[in-house]
Structure 1
Amino acid sequence: RSTNHEKIRKQIWTTRLYLVIFIIILFILVLYTSLNKKSININVQLSSLTQYQQLEIKYKSTLTCPCDRISIEYKEFIELKVSYHEVCTSDFISQQWFDYLYNKQKINDRNFLATASIQFQVLASLCKLTQETINIGLTQFYSTKFISGQLNLNETFQKQINSILKIFQRSISQTFKRTLDMIHEVIHGNFYMTIFQTNWKFTVLERKRFSPFYTNPLTYNNSCNCGTSSKCSEKVILNNSIIDGLVIGCYPFESMLQSSLQCLYNQTCLELILLYFKVQSDNITFNILSSINQYGIDEKVEHMVDRLFVDQWYIDYSYEKYFQQCYPTFCTYSYIQYFNIFYIITTILSLYSGLTITLTLIIPFIIHILFRLFYRRKTFITPLSQTLNQNID
């Protein structure tokens, strides 16, 4: 009986400990699986831009859509148009205007009467060259390929294209300016004399046969010497009136760059020029400039050249066309899941059998050890108490 009673007690304690430990472990598992983050990856077939935009709104940070075409020419989704300064389509770059200003009898007078025609021809050439440069640049730009292994988000796409366009606009302007500067430095560095003798003039010291001709640099504003600087200039004065914006200097090219077109916006100022260059011809009229842009009428031609005479770039790029060319057929996105009852149940069921077997093996062993320790302590205490009683007696 004693032995059976002890077994029953062991079984009771084993069951109790088993239930307590099992409940504690079960609670820990439920708590862990509930708080544990789980990344869920989803693949979805893509059929339209609208579907993609809906996915972008929900899963912007993790959405990836591989492109079927990884290289796309810019012309497929970008269109650039240019609005040039009004002067480049005005009467002031026409042959009629050049002829009106030209006076071959005054070609060596070293004044505006001699250089006016060629200065405006320089302006016309600059207009033409800048337009050709932009057209060539656009052709090259359109054929350049946009490399993208994945469909960019709309926001990222806009930032990339805006950055690309700024680099293109800056590079094409800098390339043109460097070419002009190089040509200008070569001309000035070799001290070439203009046909109008506006930078150097011939000087005869002796009127003898085979006497040499000497050249001396001209001085403008009583201070700037064309021998040391190509940028010397002074204001144009016609009939004792200063012509707003126009200057004359060492080179017609440099003079036009330092000039502004302010006079060409004013009918009164234009009539001063027409009166000064008056020719025997009837019904010749030239229309003044009328369109005022954001840069102002006193802007120097040099600054116009820096921006290639462009008043406005009209940029049109289409994300929809980019999407069509990229042609993504599927997308992948992921999201974090914190609580999933199915995942919790699955985890518990997968661990249940192993946990049950483990507890079934370990807990009886623990109870057995505890009971042995308990009986050993009880056995030790009982004899000791009996010995003490005998000694007292």
Structure 2
Amino acid sequence: MKTESTKVIVSNITPVKFDELNSKYNKTLSCPCSTISMPHKTFVSNTIKFHPVCKSIFVNQSWIKALYLFNASQYGVWDFRTTASSQFALLSDFCSISQDTIFQIENDVGNNDFITTYLLTDTQIHFEVNSTTESFKNSASARIIMFLNYLRTTVRENYLVSALNTNLITGISSNSNNMIHVAAFPVYYKSASGNSVSCNQGNPTSAATLNPLLNGSLTVNRIPRFESMPNSTIVSGFFAACTPLEALLQSTLDCLYENECLELLSDYFPALNHMGVNWTDFLLTSKQENLSVNDYFNNLFIEEWSTNINYSKYFNECHPSVCTYTTTDRADISYTIALFISLYGGLVIILRLIASFLVNVSLKFKHRSRNTSVHFGSFIIILLFTSLSTQTATVTIPNPSLSTYKNLQMLYSATLNCPCSTKTISYRSFVSLSPVLHQVCSSGFVTDDWVVLFKQSTNIESPNDWRNRAGAQFQLLSDFCRLANKTIDDSVDRFLKKFFIASTVFNEIDFNTQLNSSERRCTSFVASRSALYGIATDDRLKLVSFILPEIPEINSTMLTCVCATNPHCRALNVIYTQTSIQGIYVSYVMPSSIRGCLNSDSLLLSTLQCLYADSDCFPILLSHLKKFYSSSELKLSLHDISPLINDPTQSRFPPNTLVSTIFKEMMVEQWNESSSYKNFYESCAPIHCTYSEKIRTKTIAGIMLALMSVIGGLVVSLRLITPYLVRFFYYLWEKINKRQQNQQQDEQGKY
């Protein structure tokens, strides 16, 4: 039985009608929106539940002030009294930052345009909106954590001293001559190998404790040791570290869920008892197991994020005027009867022609009459009319391959339509995006062994020697390479997790155009890079430096700049040598290597020129390192350290480029971008392709068959109808004759 594809157009669309159509014709249903762009806030709202600590008394100023002790720095780094107030102040700031960020995310998502070419189902809308919201959340969280991690690195490598004596202990003493001496003792801990490691070399943590001993009983030799006192009580879920920030990030806040722990705090922080509250009423609930403050902050202290979608508002904004779908139907009964009669008549004609052909062929040539010519001409006219008639037909190609689609695109681009079975496609399925970082990030100059080698090769006799600070600077360079790589990886990962919206198959040109636009947005890190660079160069960091370094002139003992009064002091870095004859003297001035007030300043103001193969500096640098290398226990070979190569075809940063400039570009030399149209097409997986074309209604065989069927059908029909027509006309003729006879008889009767 013949089937026919019919395109049905439905108007006056309502949500109920759309649901009915979608349940029946979801594969071919298409409802174009009158408005294809609308802000999310027109139909999306959010319900957000924060971690209970952010709404608790523990982030209020009254609690934070009650934990403040004027002599907190004298208890030792392991004692919770040293950092308790600072940790909760930071926790309060983290909550505020998270809440402000969430507010901004809601605004950004709300103002972000939702693109909807065709009306989507409620399920599709939820999927799209949730994906967009999650992307904004991940992006905001990643930026905050990125800044936080770089701040942690900056504090550690610049050895910024905490006023709480948690990473450096300062002491003042006087001798018999009443001379005052200021001494500094780095806080250290014992590593697994038994070596002493200071806070600028690692990031130790231990459980925070409380000890009843008076702080005056601690000796100056005991305080710097990162070990808790005997008979101490552990504060559940809180830690001690080199800075209050590091301690807080590791904390799990267990104490705030336990009444006994809060009572313990009341014993050691007398001001808490003056608050006049029952701590049982303020215990936190719904604890998430084994999660630290760092984990909470990564998730912006969100416990639950519920997205509410008003589908009716979305439907009204989309406002589809019509919907179309395609149905495939078998021929109806009238067509079947007509076809049967035509076929029967056609067979009769064909058999008659075959049977009488040989007999009549000669007679037809001999006795061709004018009537025969007329009949033949009529036949030709019917034949031409039938053969020349055309119609616009919609052709459907089910499950087209890529090669089939490309052929159709070349022939029928104006009317071709191939709806995707998957309308939201992850970029990851067909896009590859990766950066090429500056070569220093993959060199030996950022390895741990190289950094440690510099830290071991310090020149104690000359504190102004570049080698005394080089280890920290190379550590900063290494950390920034890792940070840049992680930042870029996170950004690329967020981009690849996004979805490419394709209701229908894009042709390859349109696909590349739209994809290039998306990739450009992904690789535009101007705002993030500027903010990150701002942290690295923020003058406010200089204000918290404990020491007051001075920068002398080369070959001079005169001080021309003191960082305490001018944070922009700078001079060229030098390497000193000491001999028994000459004493300490400048043996080498390093070109394009600047000494600033902080290690971060020194690095940012310098270039990497000394690390290149075509530089005179590199072999001199190695020669000075070899003097210390023999005493090093590292397995590093200086012969394995390859210099950087100056190749303008591979790098957009010449050797004399400032490190700050390279940092601004996130160390990126270039982007390797590739996409697969084949993978996109396979992910789209079009159900079918339709196109319109004008076609002749019949082929030659079809024309002949149609003519024979028509003639045969007429013959059969006339055979059936003619007897009845003859009887009818005979009946009419008799009736007319009879009426005339009656009229004649009536007229004769009058006379």
TM range (shorter): 0.7 to 0.9
Q: Which residue does the alignment assign to 1:94?
A: 60
SS in 2 for 1:149: coil
Alignment root-mean-square deviation, CA? 3.4
- Paired amino acid for 2:203: S
Deviations 1:47-89 (A, max 9, x none): 4211211211221211111100001111111111211111111
Tell whether the 8 Å contact from 2:48 to 2:306 is kept in structure 1 after alignment. Answer: yes
Q: Which residue does the alignment assign to 2:298?
A: 306
Matched, 1:163 2:163: no
Deviations 1:14-56 (A, max 9, x none): xxxxxxxxxxxxxxxxxxxx2x331111101124211211211
- Paired amino acid for 1:363: I
Tell whether the 8 Å contact from 1:259 to 1:300 is kept in structure 2 after alignment. Answer: yes
Q: Which residue, out of 270, 281, 293, partners 2:286?
A: 293
Matches within 5 A, 1:144-163: 144-163=112-131
Q: Which residue, out of 218, 234, 239, partners 2:188?
A: 218
**Cα distance in structure 1, aligned partners of 2:296 and 2:312:** 35
Deviations 1:155-197 (A, max 9, x none): 3333323333333333332222222212222222221111112
Q: Which residue does the alignment assign to 1:338?
A: 330
Count of residues in Structure 1 that have an aligned counterpart in Structure 2: 336
**Cα distance in structure 2, aligned partners of 1:290 and 1:274:** 14
Tell whether the 8 Å contact from 2:173 to 2:180 is kept in structure 1 after alignment. Answer: no
**C-alpha spacing 1:73/1:342, structure 2 compared with 1 (3 Å):** farther
**Cα distance in structure 2, aligned partners of 1:349 and 1:318:** 58
Tell whether the 8 Å contact from 1:230 to 1:251 is kept in structure 2 after alignment. Answer: no
In the alignment, structure 1 segments of 5+ residues that lack a partner are 1-33, 372-393
**Cα distance in structure 1, aligned partners of 2:46 and 2:272:** 46
If the length of structure 2 is used for normalisation, what is the TM-score?
A: 0.41
Shift of 1:358: 8.4
Matched, 1:133 2:106: no
SS in 2 for 1:69: coil
SS in 2 for 1:63: coil
**C-alpha spacing 1:87/1:282, structure 2 compared with 1 (3 Å):** same
Deviations 1:238-281 (A, max 9, x none): 44311111111101011011112111111111111111111497
Report which stretch shifted further, 244-253 or 312-321.
312-321
**Cα distance in structure 2, aligned partners of 1:294 and 1:319:** 35
Shift of 1:336: 0.8
**Cα distance in structure 2, aligned partners of 1:322 and 1:347:** 49
Q: Which residue does the alignment assign to 2:255?
A: 263
Matches within 5 A, 1:1-393: 34=1, 36-110=2-76, 111-202=79-170, 213-214=183-184, 216-219=186-189, 225-239=198-212, 240-279=232-271, 282-285=274-277, 287-288=279-280, 289-293=282-286, 295-296=288-289, 299-344=291-336, 359=350, 363=354, 366-368=357-359
Q: Which residue does the alignment assign to 2:529?
A: none
**C-alpha spacing 1:346/1:292, structure 2 compared with 1 (3 Å):** farther
Shift of 1:214: 4.7
Tell whether the 8 Å contact from 2:87 to 2:247 is kept in structure 1 after alignment. Answer: yes
**C-alpha spacing 1:360/1:233, structure 2 compared with 1 (3 Å):** same
Deviations 1:339-384 (A, max 9, x none): 323444676799999x69984996367434999xxxxxxxxxxxxx
**Cα distance in structure 2, aligned partners of 1:248 and 1:126:** 18
Tell whether the 8 Å contact from 2:266 to 2:273 is kept in structure 1 after alignment. Answer: no
**Cα distance in structure 1, aligned partners of 2:169 and 2:11:** 80
**Cα distance in structure 2, aligned partners of 1:257 and 1:286:** 28
Tell whether the 8 Å contact from 2:249 to 2:294 is kept in structure 1 after alignment. Answer: yes
Report which stretch shifted further, 332-341 or 221-230.
221-230
SS in 1 for 2:71: helix
- Paired amino acid for 1:293: S
If the length of structure 1 is used for normalisation, what is the TM-score?
A: 0.75
- Paired amino acid for 2:296: M
**Cα distance in structure 1, aligned partners of 2:110 and 2:72:** 48
Report which stretch shifted further, 334-343 or 321-330.
334-343
**Cα distance in structure 2, aligned partners of 1:190 and 1:347:** 93
Tell whether the 8 Å contact from 1:43 to 1:330 is kept in structure 2 after alignment. Answer: yes
Shift of 1:290: 3.7
Tell whether the 8 Å contact from 1:261 to 1:299 is kept in structure 2 after alignment. Answer: no
- Paired amino acid for 2:186: N
- Paired amino acid for 1:219: Y
**Cα distance in structure 1, aligned partners of 2:50 and 2:272:** 34
**Greater relative CO (CA pairs within 8 A, separation 6+):** 1
More helix by share: 1
SS in 2 for 1:177: helix
**Cα distance in structure 2, aligned partners of 1:273 and 1:322:** 53
**Cα distance in structure 1, aligned partners of 2:31 and 2:47:** 31
In the alignment, structure 2 segments of 5+ residues that lack a partner are 213-231, 363-751
SS in 2 for 1:67: coil
Identical pairs, percent: 26
Tell whether the 8 Å contact from 2:98 to 2:301 is kept in structure 1 after alignment. Answer: yes
Report which stretch shifted further, 190-199 or 176-185.
176-185
Report which stretch shifted further, 191-200 or 343-352.
343-352
**C-alpha spacing 1:206/1:217, structure 2 compared with 1 (3 Å):** farther
Tell whether the 8 Å contact from 1:218 to 1:250 is kept in structure 2 after alignment. Answer: no
Deviations 1:259-313 (A, max 9, x none): 12111111111111111111497453263544432613x5321111111111111
Q: Which residue does the alignment assign to 1:20?
A: none
Report which stretch shifted further, 139-148 or 157-166.
157-166
Tell whether the 8 Å contact from 1:293 to 1:311 is kept in structure 2 after alignment. Answer: no
Tell whether the 8 Å contact from 1:39 to 1:334 is kept in structure 2 after alignment. Answer: yes
**Cα distance in structure 1, aligned partners of 2:53 and 2:36:** 43
Tell whether the 8 Å contact from 2:256 to 2:284 is kept in structure 1 after alignment. Answer: no
Report which stretch shifted further, 178-187 or 260-269.
178-187
Q: Which residue does the alignment assign to 2:680?
A: none
**Cα distance in structure 2, aligned partners of 1:280 and 1:155:** 52
